[in-house]
């Protein structure tokens, strides 16, 4: 823009009333939601701005105000009695005018996930703005984060890792570290939900999975909240793209709730354990699992972990007589393997413990000195049931039932 055009615009500043911020964790569906809403005839969206966090995030505004107030000599802000809300409001007015200059007379939308962490500042800068928070199941968010850098070629990944600190700070905690991804989702979800609870008339939380299941209702609720008439174009775009499709091409195939991934079933034991420790409570807090389901997930991880520990101990423990009897690299005979397992269990399980034996009814494995052994799975009479549980849920339910009867 030339200096002459700039001066003309600055002399006749116009601003957008009730702009819209879409907030939420990275990989939650903020992009597709903003792109869909931009198809509405009264709304406008371009790209993520990011600059507001650099200028006003991380407490920068409050630091500037504090420095001005604490200077030995009175400053203009102090002399004129400018408080925080007034200061932020006028700062926001300038940003609003800049956005409005590009929004072609429509209400502008900003969608920058990191702004979630400075939503309170934005609420003061734009006192009539609406906030639409999109919340997605943390398991799917973490899975998407874990594969984020796979979308790029190796040269671009190198560029990201060599980027400035602002960009690195945004991507690295969740883009290359599973624990960081879990923590990031939990932080963003809790921060956004807390903000929404304190500003109920200005905020709407949209559950990603519910929007996928019923986009007509979901967008109708959003339209009602931000005060625009219903239109079909946003719904059509949303249905024609895959969720979190920042990188995918448009598709004519409608979305289906049944197509959503179930990453929990793909994760390793360690990944499940990390997720539960870092984000399990958040997952349950916002209704993605019930308390009983969370306990079942924890039980699955803990039970499997104990089995793996026992397996490792069996492999590592090698009685001296067995070493002398077997050639290097040879496999134990079945009777000697059973004997070794019994030795490990006796050396590991406390005296008088009740041990569950997972086998095809192998009687010799239940002969544990000083310990009681039960078959798993078993029938009502305590005998081997003759078949395996149908699936992991069935196995866990059976395990918990036996634990309730006294199994350790």
Whole-angstrom distance, CA of residue 163 vs CA of residue 147: 19
More confident residue, 108 or 305: 108
CA distances (Å), origin 155, targets 78, 148, 161, 192, 310: 50, 15, 10, 34, 44
Residue 370 DSSP label: T
State the DSSP string of 17-51. Answer: SS-EEEE--TTSSHHHHHHHHTTSTTEE------H
pLDDT of residue 245: 47
Candidates 260, 257, 29, 264; CA nearest to 143 is 264
Q: Between the ranges 145-149, 167-171, 318-322, where is the mean pLDDT highest?
A: 145-149
Strands 20-23 and 354-358: unpaired
248 pLDDT band, cuts 50/70/90, is very low
Does residue 25 carry a pLDDT above 50?
Answer: yes
pLDDT of residue 396: 81
Tokens representing 107? Answer: 């209400």
Tokens representing 98? Answer: 């800049």
Q: What pLDDT digit, counting tens, does each position of 366-402 carry? A: 777 777 888 888 888 888 887 778 777 777 888 788 8
Q: What pLDDT digit, counting tens, does each position of 86-126 carry? A: 999 999 999 999 999 999 999 999 999 999 999 999 999 99
Architecture of domain 9-142+181-261: 3-Layer(aba) Sandwich (3.40)
pLDDT of residue 151: 60
pLDDT of residue 321: 46
Mean predicted confidence (pLDDT) in 180-209? 97
Whole-angstrom distance, CA of residue 338 vs CA of residue 393: 28
Asked, as a colleague might, if the bond just before 191 is cis with ω within 30 of 0, I would say no
Candidates 242, 179, 238; CA nearest to 36 is 238
More confident residue, 226 or 67: 226
Name the burial class of residue 11, with classes exposed (0-12), middle (13-18) and buried (19+) by CB atoms within 10 angstroms of its CB. Answer: exposed
More confident residue, 245 or 10: 10
Q: What pLDDT digit, counting tens, does each position of 332-358 carry? A: 677 777 777 777 777 777 777 888 888
pLDDT of residue 341: 79
More confident residue, 77 or 42: 42
Tokens representing 81? Answer: 């009695």
Out of 10-24, 103-117, 246-260, 293-307, pick the least confident. 246-260
Confirm whether pTM is higher than 0.75: no
Whole-angstrom distance, CA of residue 88 vs CA of residue 330: 75
More confident residue, 219 or 8: 219
Q: What pLDDT digit, counting tens, does each position of 223-247 carry? A: 999 999 999 999 999 998 654 444 4
Q: Is 44 left (phi over 0), alpha (psi -120 to 50) or beta?
A: beta
| pLDDT, the chain, mean | 83
- Look up tokens 């590009």; give the residue: 102
Percent of the chain whose pLDDT exceeds 70 = 77
CA distances (Å), origin 401, targets 86, 394, 397: 62, 11, 6
CA distances (Å), origin 92, targets 63, 72, 96, 221: 17, 28, 6, 27
Please list the residue range(s) of the chain that carry CATH number 3.40.50.300: 9-142+181-261
């Amino acid at each position: 823009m030339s200096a002459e055009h700039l001066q003309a615009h600055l002399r006749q500043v116009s601003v957008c009333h009730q702009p819209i911020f879409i907030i939420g964790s990275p990989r939650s569906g903020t992009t597709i939601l903003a792109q869909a809403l931009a198809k509405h005839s009264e709304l406008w969206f371009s790209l993520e701005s990011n600059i507001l966090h650099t200028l006003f995030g991380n407490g920068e505004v409050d630091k500037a105000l504090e420095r001005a107030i604490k200077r030995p000599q009175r400053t203009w802000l102090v002399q004129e009695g400018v408080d925080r809300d007034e200061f932020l409001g006028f700062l926001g007015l300038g940003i609003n005018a800049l956005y409005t200059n590009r929004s072609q007379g429509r209400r502008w939308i900003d969608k920058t996930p990191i702004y979630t962490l400075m939503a309170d500042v934005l609420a003061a800068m734009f006192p009539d703005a609406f906030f639409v928070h999109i919340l997605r199941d943390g398991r799917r968010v973490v899975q998407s984060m874990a594969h984020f850098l796979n979308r790029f070629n190796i040269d671009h990944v190198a560029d990201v890792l060599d980027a400035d600190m602002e960009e690195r700070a945004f991507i690295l905690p969740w883009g290359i570290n599973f624990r960081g991804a879990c923590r990031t989702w939990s932080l963003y979800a809790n921060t956004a939900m807390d903000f929404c609870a304190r500003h109920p008339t200005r905020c709407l939380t949209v559950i990603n999975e519910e929007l996928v299941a019923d986009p007509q209702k979901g967008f109708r609720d959003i339209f009602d909240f931000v005060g625009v008439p219903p239109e079909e174009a946003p719904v059509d775009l949303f249905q024609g793209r895959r969720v979190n499709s920042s990188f995918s091409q448009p598709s004519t195939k409608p979305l289906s709730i049944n197509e959503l991934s179930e990453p929990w079933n793909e994760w390793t034991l360690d990944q499940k354990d990390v997720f539960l420790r870092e984000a399990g409570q958040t997952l349950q807090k916002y209704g993605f699992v019930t308390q009983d389901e969370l306990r079942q997930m924890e039980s699955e991880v803990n039970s499997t972990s104990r089995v793996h520990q026992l397996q490792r101990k069996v492999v590592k423990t090698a009685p001296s007589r067995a070493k002398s009897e077997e050639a290097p690299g040879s496999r134990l005979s079945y009777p000697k393997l059973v004997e070794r397992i019994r030795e490990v269990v006796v050396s590991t399980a406390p005296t008088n413990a009740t041990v569950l034996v997972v086998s095809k009814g192998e009687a010799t494995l239940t002969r544990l000195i000083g310990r009681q052994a039960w078959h798993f799975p078993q029938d009502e009479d305590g005998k081997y049931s003759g078949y395996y549980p149908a699936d992991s849920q069935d196995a866990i339910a059976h395990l918990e039932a036996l634990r309730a009867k006294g199994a350790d």
